A = this chain, B = another copy of it.
Amino acid sequence: MTEEVAATEPGPAGSALSRREQILQAAAELFARYGFHGVGIDDIGGAVGVSGPALYRHFRSKEAMLAEMLTEISDKLLLGGHSRVDAAAGPDAALEELVRWHVEFALTNPALITVHLRDLDSLSEPDQHRVRESQRAYVEVWVRVLRAVRADLDEHTARAAAHAVIGLINSTPYSTHLDTTAMSALLHRMALGALSAGSGT
């Protein structure tokens, strides 16, 4: 190993945290490309320059890795969305911020988005439940903002519209024909366009 732990985090647990993150990142990339069941323990180990069962020094199981990355992503999404909405001036600004936040998130973490869409149900029941709970709450943030902007939207329609827009933005990982800023701007415009059309006749 030529490259040692450079200077990640102070404290005794610094290098340990770095290792975990490193593993999670590599695993996310692999899961995104081949699916949870399509990736072996040895593959993940190999991706971080360590072979096989060494991972069990850091995670209880392969599924624990998936669980950690999925709970992390959904909590982060929820938290970020919430705080942006709270900080916004009015409903319109809140919606704008929500779109901006989700676009940025999806473009920054395409692998996590993919894994989240794909392998959620490879989780154990309790973990799965927790993730879905965050997810539900996140959609609810969207629903509240949407209904604040357009009072004529009923609950169900707002929820379906939220899902659709999130789906639009999440379709990002598969199309990388544009550079990030152009893509970001395009998705932003399209999302808002879809939403303003969503409640029209």
Let me know if A58 is at the binding interface, CB within 8 A. no
Q: Are A174 and B168 in touch, CB under 8 angstroms?
A: no
Inter-chain CA distance A186–B161, complex, in Å, is 8
Q: Which of the segments A16-24, A48-56, A76-84, A188-196 contacts the partner chain? A: A188-196
Dominant secondary structure at the A interface:
helix
Indicate how many identical chains form the complex.
Answer: 2
Once A193-B193, A193-B194 are accepted as A-B contacts, the answer to whether A121 and B38 lie under 8 Å apart by CB is yes
Residues of B within 8 A of A197 (CB): 189-190, 192-194, 196
Name A164's contact: one of B157, B159, B187 (CB within 8 Å). B187
**Chain A interface (Cβ within 8 Å of chain B)?**
33-38, 117-119, 121-122, 156-157, 159-161, 163-172, 174-175, 177-178, 182-183, 186-187, 189-198, 200
Besides A157-B186, A159-B177, 12 other A-B contacts (C-beta < 8 A): A35-B121, A37-B37, A117-B118, A160-B175, A160-B177, A161-B190, A163-B174, A164-B175, A166-B171, A191-B194, A193-B193, A193-B198
